Structure 1
Amino acid sequence: MKTRCTAFVVFLASASLLAGCGLVPGGDDREEITLWLMKDSATADFIERFTKEFEKEHPSLRLKVESQDWGGITEKVDKALRTGDDSAPDVIEVGNTQVAQYVDGGGLVDLTLESMRDLGMDDWLPGLAAPGRFGGSQYGIPWYAANRVVLYNKDVFAEAGVSKPPKTREQWIADTTRINETGNQGIYLAGQDWYTLSGFIWDEGGDLAKESGNIWTGTLDTPAALRGMDFYRRLQELGNGPKDADEGNPPQAEVFAKGDVGQIITVPGAARTIVAKNPALKGKLGFFPVPGKTAARPGAVFTGGSDLVVREKTDNRAGAVELIKALAGEKWQVTLARTMNYVPNKTTLAEAVSGDEGSAAMAEGAAHGRATPNSPRWGSVESDNPIKEYMTQVLTGADPETAAKAASKRITSTLDLRTR
């Protein structure tokens, strides 16, 4: 999930994991379990405390934690899954949307029985659980989630007479229009924010691509997906965001920090960047879930985050499973979420982050979150990304159906496993 996580790591804590941190000297009779975690997924203090307690509860095991960078991680994990070397990890944190490609390449343990019996899979966030499942089997165990919310300027809302955040799409459009009438910019939404577009498409019952008989087909040209794009167009027109760039060009947090923008769609951690740029905004920022079609539930959002997988060639499957059970269990899920401002891996644990406005808004959205199509080749779609080009075409006046058909054709061609 390298590209996806790049969008989310902006709000992660800055403390780095140290390779091998938290090791407790032990006798030669203890078996070593090696865990790869991505840099900044958790604080060094969290890992130290977890390691100490895990080893206390499992005296026959010694835990070794190694920090990995997102850059080049796919190749490194692929190599680790192929090797039988003792230095290879037993448990690996991977991006939730990376699981399919690792399963396709071979080398992961099928954890279906463990997930059904011990890990409470019925309560997992759908945006983490679904991409961890491949071919009917569960290979990735949800660890943590993060997703977009609406970050807003309370003063700008108040000036427009908007006293509370909208709960429906239509109210969202109306409130944003009122903000524009004050001379402020109602919303800053870049034209190629395809993660946000995905949520609108899912809300309409559509998708980016669908699988049938092991064949993937791009589906941006379906009526439901076209309705999602049309809502995106309506919302994007209420701001001055570029139609031919994504949210990183220019960085939308910097645009918002100028103080005359009502709202952006981003992760809550962006608030730190905004306040650092403009300290006058401290205490003036709020968060709410992306509104849905009705007030009954928030809008669908793309769920980023990580799953935990076990290397098939591990010498200690039982120990690896015990490690995952601890990391994915309630105690350490709650601790991790509160430490890192994440969403816990289960909908039943959302209350754990209710005290933080941004995390609470994320948790509401995550309950209805989704992930990108679970194809081993989806990463290739993102590299070429016909979705971005399609969005710009529509926003600059092209016929939506014609542009969608062309983009869908490119997605289909890229996902077609028969062309490998």
Structure 2
Amino acid sequence: MKRWKRLAVGAAALAVATSGCGMGGSGGSGGGQGDDKTLTVWLMDGSAPKGFTDDLNREFEGQHPGVKVKYEIQQWKGIQDKLTTALASNNPPDVIELGNTQTARFAAENTLLDLTGSAKDLAGDQWLGGLKESATWDGKQYAMPFYAANRTVIYRKDMFEKAGVTKTPTSRAEWLDAIAKLRAANASDPEFEALYLPGQSWYVWLSFLWDEGGDVAKQDGKSFKATLDSAEAKAAVEFYKQLVDASGTKAPKDQDEATPQQFEIFAKGKTAMMIALPWEHGNAVKADPKLKDVTAAFPVPSKEAGKSAPVFLGGSNLAIPAGSKKQDLAKDYLKLLSGVKFQNKFAKESGAVPGTSKDVSALATDPVAGPMALAAQNGRVTPTTPKWGPVEAGQNPLKDMLTAALTGQKSPADAARDANAKIGQALGG
């Protein structure tokens, strides 16, 4: 599960979310649920800005005289076990935040309330498609989207101008052309990289796979069948290799974007582009404040001119534990949060894409968050099954696939076929 630690990069950029009001994350499994006038809400550290939660909780209490919101900040480290214990107890919290790759597991364990019949009241017609999918299990809705973040191409405006690249690419062909111009304009600098692209950036590769019309797996009843033994997967690996070869990247072929942290490379001033999350841009700006005025973003281009490629949506969902004794109050809380007022407030204060609002106008003018919000409308997620977690967290076959193809150990087709076999075994086991 990816987390988006948001750092301030401008007026509407991703901001550091403070720890919020309330009692912090030190409460027990249920946080004192014996009081019928208390609604216990667990949100994760770094998710919601303090101003947002203060106003939300204050307005909710005003609408429900006598009710107090017990707002508790939880830490991501160890949250899986803490949630497992809390949801099995007699006094679970009433509203919880879940990473979008966690939701299927708890839904499959029957520890979350079925919200299918409440979707309309929770602005269901405005939910981001990818996050809605991540909150669905066995045809039912067990959570509502909270927020999302996704990758864009962060680029140096000054380097583009110097190289004669007059507009941001809107197709793969234009992207490759821009890379060629950037490398030509900086041919005398042996340290220059038109695009920093590590060999194992598999979330980036997913964009190319989905853009080709392929997928990692397809649902077959209640199970998933791996589908990487396809022409689309082979084509996606081939384009990834083409992009790496064309870019002049010096990134390792056997590591992902975290080893080393790609924002550290970008901040050195020798790289024109990186495919990154907004918090990575924020960290680069923190390392070199001059980058703030010379950087912006554009969506990952599609192979079809004028379109952007689908992107992986990372983010969180909000759910109500099945054992909550305040389910009606909890639904009212989610209804208030999902309304236009608080969705717009969340976008403005956090810079993240609100999961229950397709209106991203609050982010439109930001050079990084704006393109991210537009690309999120075409967002997708990995297979929504509890069995996907071990695939991602273990010896990820997608990482091995990319390294094998980039280093010539295997052909793109053979690398994709081998990854398909391993993923198929994991999803079917």
Same fold (TM over 0.5): yes
Q: TM-score range by the shorter chain?
A: over 0.9
Residue 14 of structure 1: how far off its partner (Å): 4.6
User: In 2, distance between residues paired with 1:147 and 1:279?
Assistant: 23
Whether contact under 8 Å (1:209, 1:220) holds in the other structure is: yes
Residue 12 of structure 1: how far off its partner (Å): 4.9
Residue 120 of structure 1: how far off its partner (Å): 2.7
Equivalent position of 2:417 in the other structure: 405
User: In 2, distance between residues paired with 1:320 and 1:92?
Assistant: 10
Equivalent position of 2:154 in the other structure: 151
Residue 408 of structure 1: how far off its partner (Å): 1.0
User: In 2, distance between residues paired with 1:29 and 1:121?
Assistant: 31
Equivalent position of 1:282 in the other structure: 292
Residue 373 of structure 1: how far off its partner (Å): 0.7
Residue 281 of structure 1: how far off its partner (Å): 2.4
Amino acid aligned to 1:33: L
User: In 2, distance between residues paired with 1:250 and 1:289?
Assistant: 23
Gaps of 5+ in 1: 22-27
- From 223, 248, 256, give the equivalent of 2:231: 223
RMSD, aligned CA: 1.8
Normalising by the residue count of structure 1, what TM-score does the alignment of the two structures yield? 0.92
Equivalent position of 1:171 in the other structure: 174
Matches within 5 A, 1:114-133: 114-115=118-119, 117-133=120-136
Equivalent position of 2:198 in the other structure: 190
Residue 9 of structure 1: how far off its partner (Å): 5.0
Amino acid aligned to 1:388: K
- Residues 374-418 of structure 1: CA distance to partner in whole angstroms, max 9, x if unpaired? 1111110012211101110001112122121111111111112xx
Amino acid aligned to 1:334: N
Amino acid aligned to 1:192: Q
Kindly indicate whether residue 244 of structure 2 is the aligned counterpart of residue 236 of structure 1. yes
Kindly indicate whether residue 70 of structure 2 is the aligned counterpart of residue 58 of structure 1. no
- Residues 27-51 of structure 1: CA distance to partner in whole angstroms, max 9, x if unpaired? x996211010000111223221211
Residue 272 of structure 1: how far off its partner (Å): 2.3
User: In 2, distance between residues paired with 1:158 and 1:336?
Assistant: 34
User: In 1, distance between residues paired with 2:321 and 2:285?
Assistant: 42
- From 92, 98, 115, give the equivalent of 1:94: 98
Equivalent position of 1:324 in the other structure: 334
User: In 2, distance between residues paired with 1:236 and 1:12?
Assistant: 31
Equivalent position of 2:401 in the other structure: 390
Kindly indicate whether residue 43 of structure 2 is the aligned counterpart of residue 37 of structure 1. yes
The alignment-based identity, stated in percent, is 38
Kindly report structure 1 stretches of 4+ aligned residues shifted beyond 4 Å: 7-12
Residue 290 of structure 1: how far off its partner (Å): 1.1
Residue 8 of structure 1: how far off its partner (Å): 5.1
Q: Which has the higher contact order (CA 8 A, sep 6+)?
A: 2
Residue 346 of structure 1: how far off its partner (Å): 4.2
- From 306, 322, 327, give the equivalent of 2:316: 306
Matches within 5 A, 1:73-84: 73-84=79-90
Give the paired residue count: 405
Matches within 5 A, 1:285-296: 285-296=295-306
Residue 132 of structure 1: how far off its partner (Å): 0.3
Secondary structure of residue in 2 paired with 1:164: coil
Distance 1:72 1:29, change over 3 A: closer
User: In 1, distance between residues paired with 2:367 and 2:148?
Assistant: 16
- From 192, 202, 219, give the equivalent of 2:210: 202
